[in-house]
Structure 1
Amino acid sequence: MRFMLKVNIPVESGNAAAKAGKLGETIESILADQKPEAAYFTDNHGQRTGFIFLEMKEASQIPAIAEPWFLALDASIELHPVMIPDDLAKAGPAIDKAVKKYASHTHA
């Protein structure tokens, strides 16, 4: 299953790694191990942030994905399942079923 890993690197630990000349090298090393489909870097809430898209077959892989970011950069992470357009197309029948069952209900 495809997941989006959001990595937020605190300013202090990111600055310390940058000043030591290790920020890029550390990120490159983690990405080389994780072999993501794609990785994008930007800012989020004033922190260096990565949006990394990767495949996971089972939940037991979460520590191998999360721990390098925690240990090397004191990062916080979020991990979310995501879909590509083909996945969304396959979900069509489930969406239709939910619409038929729940869309006619009124919400208070």
Structure 2
Amino acid sequence: MRTLLKVSCEVIASNNALKSGKLPEIVKSTMDKLKPEASYFFTDGGRRTCLMIFDLKEPSEIPGIAEPFFQELNAEVIFQPVMNAEDLQKGLSKLNS
């Protein structure tokens, strides 16, 4: 299922992780694992934040994805099913069936 992952990192924890080299390791490891179709990095509410769109094959993957962000970056982690335009069109076409 196409899923949006939003990670918003606590500032002090992510500062420490950046200094120790853990922040780039966690991001690279996550990107290598998920192979996102898109990823974006920005600030949101003054916190380091990233969005990744990826294929979540099964819910049991969630802990392995989220825990490094929780444990190392004191992050807020959100998983949200999403659609692209093609998915939306397919779904809307079923409404009139």
Same fold per superposition (TM over 0.5): yes
Deviations 1:23-57 (A, max 9, x none): 22331122212222221100111100000111012
User: Is contact 2:70-2:76 (8 Å) kept?
Assistant: yes
Q: After superposition, what is the alpha-carbon deviation per residue over 1:37-91, rounded to whole angstroms, capped at 9, x for unaligned?
A: 2211001111000001110122222112211221232211111111011101001
Q: For residue 94 of structure 1, report the CA deviation from its aligned partner.
A: 4.7
Q: Provide the rounded CA distance (Å) in 2 between the counterparts of 1:30 and 1:6.
A: 12
| Superposition RMSD in Å | 1.8
Between the aligned residues of both structures, percent identity stands at 42
Q: Distance in 2 between matches of 1:74 and 1:28?
A: 18
Secondary structure at 2:30 match in 1? helix
> How is 1:1-108 mapped onto 2 (pairs within 5 angstroms)?
1-95=1-95
Q: Which has the higher contact order (CA 8 A, sep 6+)?
A: 2
Q: Say how many residue pairs are matched.
A: 97
Q: Distance in 2 between the 1:91 and 1:40 partners?
A: 26
Unaligned runs of 5+ in 2: none
